[in-house]
Amino acid sequence: MKPKIAVCGRIPAPALVALREFADVWAWETDEVPSVEAVHEGVRGVDAILSLLTTKVDDALLDAAGPSLKVVSNVAVGFNNIDVPACARRGVVVTNTPGVLTDATADIAMALVLMVTRRLGEGERVIRSQEPWQWGMFYMLGSSIQHQQLGIIGMGDIGQAMARRAKAFGMTIAYSNRNRVSTEIEAELGATYLSMDELLATSDVVSVNCPYSSATHHLIDAVQLAKMKKSAYLVNTARGPIVHEAALVDALQSGVIAGAGLDVFEEEPKVHPGLLACENAVLIPHLGSATVETRTAMAMLAAKNTIAVLSGGAPLTPIPVPK
């Protein structure tokens, strides 16, 4: 008998084809996020679940799937949508998609640095509103990034890819991380390891690239924002709740920092109304990994993880079982 797989959101066709060759597949095939009830119905009795960021993998979903479930393959590198301890208690393997979205996400982070420092969102709004405008010596001046310090919070793959891009734009690199990266990587990137306090106080742009967990919830709050330079910018492409969004709105409105570029929000898809009114905020809708190539690679990796586990092999990119 073929194994059963539930795919809880629309994924690129090559991955669905690979899964269908191997198993009986229930797949949610539209772009709307399925209701919890629809997902619970779809996962009943399956051996594997492909979850998207919008799929809440909690005890209720695991109960709905039942004891046949062996693996949850998240089509994302971040896995804060998954209750990993609950999966571990049931012996369910959890996997994610590291590596394949590193460049796409670092591209977006760098794009946000350029957009916010050069006021590109504001500029675009002027053109589209058909307001009169005129080139002028002092018209819509931004800040140069050359010789400015980029402070990276979280020097994993994406943080390092961001550092490479920023270095090519002439920025100097500082970083803060749980552990120092190797001296080879520090030398390649010309990166200086700083404490969070030092990084916040000295950086011209601060980029959040760390994973979200209870340890990083509201890591950047009013107190941390107040440590930044008034001329500094904050960029977040990691997860919304790492930044206290209401505190950020206050900081942007009152000139505590100069601006922010955000790809992620605290309660997606909701965006704090205060942010919408901030000209000095660039806001984009969680596009970090949104290229055809990247999303295809993510879905293929999730499919390979699923097939590996259901074939009795080791997953390619497992999330470590919590202790």
Instruction: Point out which residues bind ligand DGY (CB under 6 A).
Output: 53, 76-78, 101, 286, 288-289
Residue number with CB closer to ligand DGY (3 or 261)? 261
Residue number with CB closer to ligand DGY (119 or 239)? 239
Minimum distance, C-beta of residue 210 to ligand DGY, in the bound complex (Å): 12
Q: C-alpha angle with apex 178: 110 to 299, nearest 5 degrees?
A: 55
Q: Is 44 a catalytic residue?
A: no
Give residue for tokens 């979850």. 51
Peptide bond into 269 cis (omega under 30): yes
Give residue for tokens 């539209």. 30
Other residues' Cβ atoms within 10 Å of the Cβ of residue 164:
14
Q: Is 186 a catalytic residue?
A: no
Minimum distance, C-beta of residue 184 to ligand DGY, in the bound complex (Å): 27
Q: Which two tokens stand for residue 53?
A: 């960021």
Q: How far apart are CA 277 and CA 27, in angstroms?
A: 39
Beta bridge partners of 149: 172
Q: Which two tokens stand for residue 95?
A: 């996997």
Residue type, 154: G
Residue number with CB closer to ligand DGY (4 or 304)? 304
Minimum distance, C-beta of residue 231 to ligand DGY, in the bound complex (Å): 29
Minimum distance, C-beta of residue 160 to ligand DGY, in the bound complex (Å): 16
239, 244, 272, 295: the catalytic one is 239
> Which ranges of 118-221 does DSSP label H, i.e. alpha helix?
120-129, 157-168, 183-189, 196-202
Cite the active site residues: 239, 268, 286
